[in-house]
Homo-oligomer: A and B are copies of this chain.
Amino acid sequence: MTSIPTKKIDSYIKSIKPDFEEMLARMVEIPTISNDPNRRQDIERGADLAVEYLVSIGAKAEKVTTRGNPVVYGQIMAGKDDPTIAVYNHLDVQPALEPGWKQEPFKLQKIEGRYIGRGATDDKGPALSILLASRFAAENRIPVNIKFIWEFEEEIGSPHFEEFLLKKKKEIDADSILVSDTIWLSRGRPAISYAVRGLVGARVILKTGMQDAHSGLTGGAARNPLGEICQIISSCYDAKTGMVLIPGFYDDVRPYSKEEFASVLESGFDVKRFKRAHNLISMRTRDRAEAIKRIWFSPTFEPHGIVGGYSGDGIKTVVPPYAEAKISMRLVPDQDTRKIFRLFSGFVKKINPDCSIIREGMLDPYYCRPEGPYPDAAKRAVYLGFGREAAFVREGGSIGAVSKMQKHLGVPIILLGLSLPEHAYHGPNEYFDWGQASGGIRTFIRYLEEVSVIGA
Q: Write the residues of chain A forming the contact surface with B, with a CB cutoff of 8 angstroms.
A: 100, 183, 197, 199, 201-203, 207-211, 213-224, 226-231, 233-235, 237-240, 242, 274, 278-285, 291, 294-295, 298-311, 314-321, 326-328, 330, 354, 360-361, 395-398, 425-427
Beyond A220-B294, A220-B330, A230-B303, 6 additional pairs, beta carbon < 8 A: A215-B328, A217-B396, A223-B239, A223-B283, A226-B305, A233-B234
25 contacts between A and B (CB under 8 A): A203-B314, A209-B278, A210-B279, A210-B281, A214-B397, A216-B396, A218-B274, A218-B280, A218-B295, A218-B396, A219-B295, A220-B294, A220-B330, A221-B274, A221-B294, A226-B304, A226-B305, A229-B230, A231-B238, A282-B354, A302-B317, A304-B316, A310-B326, A311-B326, A315-B361
If A219-B330, A284-B223, A398-B216 touch, whether A211 touches B304 (CB-CB below 8 Å) is no
| A229: chain B residues within 8 A (beta carbon) | 230
Q: How far is the CA of A320 from the CA of B274 in the complex (A)?
A: 16
Contact call B222/A284, Cβ cutoff below 8 A: yes
Contact call B314/A310, Cβ cutoff below 8 A: no
Q: How far is the CA of A25 from the CA of B229 in the complex (A)?
A: 44
Q: How far is the CA of A398 from the CA of B318 in the complex (A)?
A: 13
Contact call A319/B295, Cβ cutoff below 8 A: no
Total identical chains: 2
Q: How far is the CA of A227 from the CA of B360 in the complex (A)?
A: 19
Contact call A304/B317, Cβ cutoff below 8 A: yes
| A242: chain B residues within 8 A (beta carbon) | 220, 224
Contact call A397/B216, Cβ cutoff below 8 A: yes
What is the chain B residue whose CB lies nearest that of A283? B221
What is the chain B residue whose CB lies nearest that of A297? B220
If A214-B278, A302-B215, A426-B214 touch, whether A326 touches B316 (CB-CB below 8 Å) is yes
What is the chain B residue whose CB lies nearest that of A310? B305
Contact call A279/B328, Cβ cutoff below 8 A: no
With both chains docked as a complex, state the minimum distance between the C-beta of A206 and any C-beta of chain B, in angstroms.
Answer: 10
Contact call B224/A303, Cβ cutoff below 8 A: yes
Q: How far is the CA of A310 from the CA of B306 in the complex (A)?
A: 8
Q: How far is the CA of A235 from the CA of B230 in the complex (A)?
A: 10
